[in-house]
């Protein structure tokens, strides 16, 4: 094992400027304060720097482990896969890129849909995976998030979507674009059913993801200093031909401009979500576990 390991930028991302994904070495240098941290300590602190509170990017599984009681949940709709409808090829065939990403991440696409309990409340969570082609939204991500919302409508359970995405997936063309409309239409139904939808925005949330479900939460909650925007910073710099000010398109900037309800530290996120859901009327689930819990997968066995 290396003492230090350089974090590699995930590919396919227009916004991955800082190497902030959790590296695998024994020691990690915090990009926020340059402090050298023991990886185990970082892990037990939910990948938040104990010194400066820099939030490292985390994956979907880690996210679910943080949110669900005892790290237990039931995953849904695992059998969906993209057929590469455009037969897209750039410098590499999308089909091969997809296969390589599936092998590397052990995931089928860039989102995990799960149900379980959050401080005893039954919830539906869709957590996006940035390591999977920049968390980009193609037809599978669109379908899975739509189904997550439909579970929320059917069971009248609050829906939480944790975004971490560079936006729509170019390699699936206009079909990716249409996922924005599809998910938003499903959210209109959830809205009418008066079931809460909370959007949690993490670093980074940009493009078509921001311009659809991520901004449509009954409550929009972000982690500190997350990059959140529609156009990428580089595109904007090209438009205005000057450098962008520090902090532009960060959580604090969006809060100041009225786009977010709260910025919440990852270590407080679960408690804040539970409190808000209770205030919005969610009642604790019955004590005996529902049938599906019997088949729940232990998070760390996955």
Binding region for another protein (CB under 8 A): 12, 14, 79-86, 88-91, 138-140, 142-143, 146, 168-182, 184-189, 191-192, 207-208, 210-216, 229-231, 235-236, 239-240, 244, 248-249, 257-259
- Is residue 168 within 8 Å of residue 180, measured between CB atoms? yes
What is the closest distance, in whole angstroms, from the C-beta atom of residue 241 to another protein in the complex? 11
What is the closest distance, in whole angstroms, from the C-beta atom of residue 160 to another protein in the complex? 17
CB-based burial label for 103 (10 Å; 0-12, 13-18, 19+): exposed
What is the closest distance, in whole angstroms, from the C-beta atom of residue 188 to another protein in the complex? 4
Comparing CA positions, the residue from 57, 139, 158 lying closest to residue 98 is 139
What is the closest distance, in whole angstroms, from the C-beta atom of residue 58 to another protein in the complex? 23
Kindly tell me which of 257 and 286 has the beta carbon lying closer to another protein: 257
What is the closest distance, in whole angstroms, from the C-beta atom of residue 44 to another protein in the complex? 35
What is the closest distance, in whole angstroms, from the C-beta atom of residue 47 to another protein in the complex? 26
Q: Which residues contact 18 (CB under 8 A, 6 or more apart)?
A: 31
Kindly tell me which of 67 and 180 has the beta carbon lying closer to another protein: 180
Q: Which two tokens stand for residue 166?
A: 């560079």
Residue 244 phi, psi dihedral angles, 5° rounding: -80, 150
What is the closest distance, in whole angstroms, from the C-beta atom of residue 151 to another protein in the complex? 15
Kindly tell me which of 52 and 235 has the beta carbon lying closer to another protein: 235
Are β-strands 159-165 and 121-128 bridged in parallel, bridged antiparallel, or unpaired? parallel
Kindly tell me which of 214 and 282 has the beta carbon lying closer to another protein: 214
Comparing CA positions, the residue from 153, 142, 154 lying closest to residue 189 is 153
Are β-strands 72-76 and 111-118 bridged in parallel, bridged antiparallel, or unpaired? antiparallel
- Reduced to 3 states (helix: H, G, I; strand: E, B; else coil), residue 181 is helix
Kindly tell me which of 84 and 129 has the beta carbon lying closer to another protein: 84
Q: Which residues contact 243 (CB under 8 A, 6 or more apart)?
A: 237
Point out which residues pair with 123 in neighbouring strands.
Answer: 116
Kindly tell me which of 122 and 203 has the beta carbon lying closer to another protein: 203
Kindly tell me which of 16 and 124 has the beta carbon lying closer to another protein: 16
């Amino acid at each position: 094992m290396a003492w230090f390991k350089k974090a590699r930028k995930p590919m396919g991302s227009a916004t991955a400027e800082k190497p902030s994904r959790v590296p695998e070495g024994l020691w990690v240098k915090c990009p926020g304060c340059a402090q050298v941290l023991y990886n185990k300590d970082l892990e037990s602190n939910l990948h938040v720097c104990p010194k400066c509170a820099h939030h490292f990017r985390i994956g979907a599984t880690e996210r679910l482990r943080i949110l669900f009681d005892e790290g237990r949940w039931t995953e849904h709709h695992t059998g969906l896969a993209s057929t590469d409808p455009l037969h897209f090829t750039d410098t590499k065939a999308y089909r091969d890129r997809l296969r390589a990403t599936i092998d590397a991440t052990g995931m089928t696409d860039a989102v995990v849909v799960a149900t379980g309990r959050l401080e005893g409340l039954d919830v539906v969570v869709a957590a996006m995976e940035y390591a999977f082609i920049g968390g980009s939204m193609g037809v599978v991500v669109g379908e899975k998030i739509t189904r997550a919302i439909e579970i929320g409508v059917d069971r009248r359970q609050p829906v939480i979507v944790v975004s971490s995405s560079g936006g729509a997936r170019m390699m699936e063309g206009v079909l990716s674009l249409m996922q924005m409309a599809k998910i938003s239409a499903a959210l209109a139904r959830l809205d009418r059913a008066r079931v809460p939808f909370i959007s949690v925005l993490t670093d980074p949330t940009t493009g078509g993801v921001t311009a659809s479900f991520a901004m449509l939460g009954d409550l929009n909650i972000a982690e500190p200093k997350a990059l959140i925007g529609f156009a990428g910073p580089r595109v904007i710099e090209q438009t205005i031909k000057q450098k962008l000010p520090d902090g532009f398109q960060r959580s604090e900037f969006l809060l100041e401009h009225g786009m977010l309800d709260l910025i919440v530290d990852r270590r407080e996120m679960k408690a804040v979500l539970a409190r808000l859901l209770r205030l919005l009327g969610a009642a604790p689930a019955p004590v005996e576990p529902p049938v599906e819990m019997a088949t729940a997968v232990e998070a760390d066995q996955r």
